[in-house]
């Protein structure tokens, strides 16, 4: 027969009291003095044993569970003696299956992991580059040092583009001028530095401000124009006109055509140089000793036939050869080559061009109307001597 814990407690207390009374009668007053203390210790011990008995009784009467501090109960825990070892390889907390799941279901529904559960391929989280293409993650490509947007059909992610470049670079500039079409009778060019040519029917190769771009500022920066883009007329047609300015060049037309064909230079351009330099007079000697029709310098006369640097063929051929070499050397900019022939250079300013005005050689100035009168005057079969708005040589 099993007695309840309360009956056992009462019986123990009664026996302990009886023993103490008997002892007091046998041993006298000394034991009587400690009666209260001993009784209290016995009662305390008996109370503790009764408390333990109540806990044991409750555990026997209730199912095995985890009790929370607030008195509630957690979900039933999988028995420790089951064969489910699915959580033994995990260092993460996972939710246990409900009590209705079988042991086999628990084994298949709880994955084994090595860390906090790894996000799936469709997760919108930050992931390393090993994430799948469906991730909305930032990813770094191993072949680049810059971040670029590279959208794909299966991802809305920002990721590093797999390129071999380390920075965005500006495209190489092929030319500083571009043709913008328009009438074939005028030079329609838009230069990146100097802007639109400002060409008109009267100035088909551009305005003087455009041709002299930069002279009145930081320095001459000639717009890029190729030889074939310049608007010109045929030399023989120009000479055939009544009162042609090129009449003095008539004796040398065949030489000009022959040399022009050799160096791919329009004959009218050769005649324009001769008109600007000597008014097509083969015997002219410049103030610096320049010789003949084209006013070539003395250093170019070493191979002249019989030492005659004014020989028309030699003079023309030598000068055009020099001009063609200058043109090829500057990348084909004909305006720069024409200016160079007259002593201009990139960076030429108004003050440096006119510095000789107050010297003993006033006409040693650079003629700042040269390009305009050459391209819009002589190349059009016109008298270019009086053309231009600067006229800095007029004071000489």
Q: For the segment 91-145, what is each residue's pLDDT rounded down to a tens digit?
A: 333 344 444 444 444 444 444 434 334 444 433 334 343 333 433 334 443 333 3
Answer yes or no: are the C-beta atoms of 92 and 85 closer than 8 Å.
no
Q: Which two tokens stand for residue 217?
A: 């500022």
Q: Which two tokens stand for residue 366?
A: 């650079």
| Diameter over CA atoms, the chain | 170
The pLDDT value recorded for residue 62 is 53
Strands (E), the chain: 177-179, 189-191, 195-196
Q: Has residue 334 been placed in a domain?
A: yes
pTM of the prediction? Answer: 0.56
Which tens digit of pLDDT belongs to each residue from 219-271?
999 999 999 999 999 999 999 999 999 999 999 999 999 999 999 999 999 99
Question: Checking phi first, is residue 214 left (phi over 0); if not, alpha (psi -120 to 50) or beta?
Answer: left
Residues linked to residue 189 through DSSP beta bridges, in sequence order: 179
Q: Has residue 320 been placed in a domain?
A: yes
User: Please, what is the Cα angle at 307 between 302 and 309, to 5 degrees?
Assistant: 75
What CATH number does residue 236 fall under? Answer: 1.10.530
Which tens digit of pLDDT belongs to each residue from 156-191?
333 333 333 333 443 333 345 554 444 469 999 999
Please give the C-alpha separations between residue 3 and each of 46, 49, 57, in angstroms, as whole numbers. Answer: 16, 15, 12
Residues linked to residue 155 through DSSP beta bridges, in sequence order: 152
CA distance 213 to 244: 31
Q: Has residue 333 been placed in a domain?
A: yes
For the chain, how many structural domains are there in total?
Answer: 1
Q: Has residue 222 been placed in a domain?
A: yes
Q: Has residue 269 been placed in a domain?
A: yes
Q: Has residue 47 been placed in a domain?
A: no
DSSP output for 167-236 = S--PPPP--SEEE----TTS--EEETTTEE----SSSTT--HHHHTTTTTTT---PPP--GGGS----HH
Q: Which of 366, 370, 368, 364 has its CA nearest to residue 338?
A: 370
Q: Which two tokens stand for residue 2?
A: 């099993």
Which tens digit of pLDDT belongs to each residue from 320-363?
999 999 999 999 999 999 999 999 999 999 999 999 999 999 98
CA distance 232 to 260: 14
Q: Has residue 6 been placed in a domain?
A: no
Residues linked to residue 347 through DSSP beta bridges, in sequence order: none
Q: Which of 47, 42, 46, 2 has its CA nearest to residue 20?
A: 42
Confidence at 288, pLDDT banded by 50, 70, 90: confident
Three-state DSSP at 155 gives strand
Match 């293409």 to its residue by tokens: 133
Length of the chain: 396
For 223, the domain range is 186-380
Three-state DSSP at 111 gives coil
Q: Has residue 250 been placed in a domain?
A: yes
Task: Please state which of the ranges 60-74, 90-104, 178-192, 381-395 shows the lowest mean pLDDT.
Answer: 90-104
The pLDDT value recorded for residue 287 is 83
DSSP output for 242-258 = TT-TTGGGGGGHHHHHH
Q: Which two tokens stand for residue 171?
A: 């495209």
Please indicate whether residue 71 or residue 206 has the higher confidence score (pLDDT).
Answer: 206
């Amino acid at each position: 027969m099993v007695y309840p814990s309360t009956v056992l407690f009462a019986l123990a207390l009664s026996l302990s009291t009886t023993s103490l009374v008997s002892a007091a009668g046998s041993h006298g007053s000394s034991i009587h003095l400690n009666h209260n203390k001993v009784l209290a210790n016995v009662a305390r011990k008996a109370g503790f044993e009764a408390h333990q008995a109540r806990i044991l009784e409750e555990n026997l009467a209730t199912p095995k569970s985890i009790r929370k501090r607030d008195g509630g109960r957690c979900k039933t825990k999988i028995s420790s003696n089951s064969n489910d070892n699915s959580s033994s390889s995990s260092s993460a907390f996972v939710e246990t299956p409900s009590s209705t799941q079988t042991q086999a279901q628990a084994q298949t529904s709880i994955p084994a992991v090595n860390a906090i559960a790894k996000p799936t391929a469709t997760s919108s989280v930050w992931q390393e580059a090993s994430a799948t293409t469906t991730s909305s993650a930032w990813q770094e490509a191993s072949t680049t040092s810059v971040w670029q947007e590279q959208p794909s059909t299966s991802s809305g992610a920002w990721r590093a583009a797999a390129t071999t470049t380390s920075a965005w670079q500006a495209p190489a500039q092929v030319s500083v001028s571009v043709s913008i079409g328009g009438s074939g009778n005028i030079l329609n060019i838009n230069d990146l530095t100097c802007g639109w040519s400002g060409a008109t029917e009267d100035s088909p190769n551009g305005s003087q401000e455009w041709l002299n771009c930069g002279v009145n500022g930081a320095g001459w920066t000639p717009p890029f124009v190729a030889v074939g883009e310049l608007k010109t007329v045929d030399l023989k047609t120009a000479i055939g006109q009544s009162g042609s300015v090129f009449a003095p060049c008539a004796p040398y037309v065949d030489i000009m055509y022959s040399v022009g064909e050799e160096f791919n230079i329009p004959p009218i351009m050769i005649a324009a140089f001769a008109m600007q330099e000597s008014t097509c007079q083969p015997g002219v000697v410049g103030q610096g000793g320049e010789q003949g029709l084209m006013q070539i310098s003395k250093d170019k006369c070493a191979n002249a036939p019989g030492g005659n640097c004014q020989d028309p063929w030699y003079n023309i051929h030598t000068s055009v050869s020099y001009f063609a070499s200058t043109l090829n050397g500057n990348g084909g900019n004909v305006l720069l080559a024409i200016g160079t022939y007259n002593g201009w250079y990139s960076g030429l300013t108004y003050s440096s061009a006119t510095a000789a005005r107050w010297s003993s050689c006033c006409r040693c100035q650079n003629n700042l109307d040269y390009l305009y009168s050459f391209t819009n005057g002589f190349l059009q079969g016109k008298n270019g001597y009086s053309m231009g708005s600067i006229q800095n040589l007029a004071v000489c």
